[in-house]
Copies of this chain bind each other. A is one copy, B any other.
Amino acid sequence: MSYYERHIFFCLNERAPGEASCSQHGAEAAFAHCKQRVKAEGLAGPGGVRVNRAGCLDRCAGGPVAVVYPEAVWYTFVDASDIDEIVSSHLKGGQVVDRLVLAPEVGR
């Protein structure tokens, strides 16, 4: 059994001014919102959900991005309501949010 049932990693990579990166597209706010929602829903901790900071996940063309393991489902998101849906549907209910899934060809 996995230590965390689901482990979501947010790319919070910062680049020099002038270069695009997830952190310039609301990733930090999305991470903080996700962490707060997961805690509020009572999902946080071993056997539950861990919301994690990560460095560059190298799929920058789709940024901001996050990945949920062990399912290896990749998301892109725009606002807090997208995060709410990932939390309630996927992290809580195990149901992938198809409309937010990153296209397979999106890379660096």
**A residues apposed to B, CB below 8 Å:** 2-4, 7, 9, 12, 46, 50, 52-59, 67, 69-72, 74, 104, 107
Contact = CB atoms under 8 A, between A and B. Distances in A.
A4 B107 CA distance: 11
Contact of A9 (B52, B59, B70): B52
A69 to B, nearest CB: 4
A interface, over-half SS: loop
Copies in the complex: 2
A71 B70 contact: yes
Contact of A55 (B2, B53, B67): B53
Given A3-B59, A52-B57, 13 more contacts: A3-B67, A3-B72, A3-B104, A4-B72, A9-B9, A12-B55, A50-B58, A54-B55, A69-B69, A69-B70, A69-B72, A70-B71, A70-B72
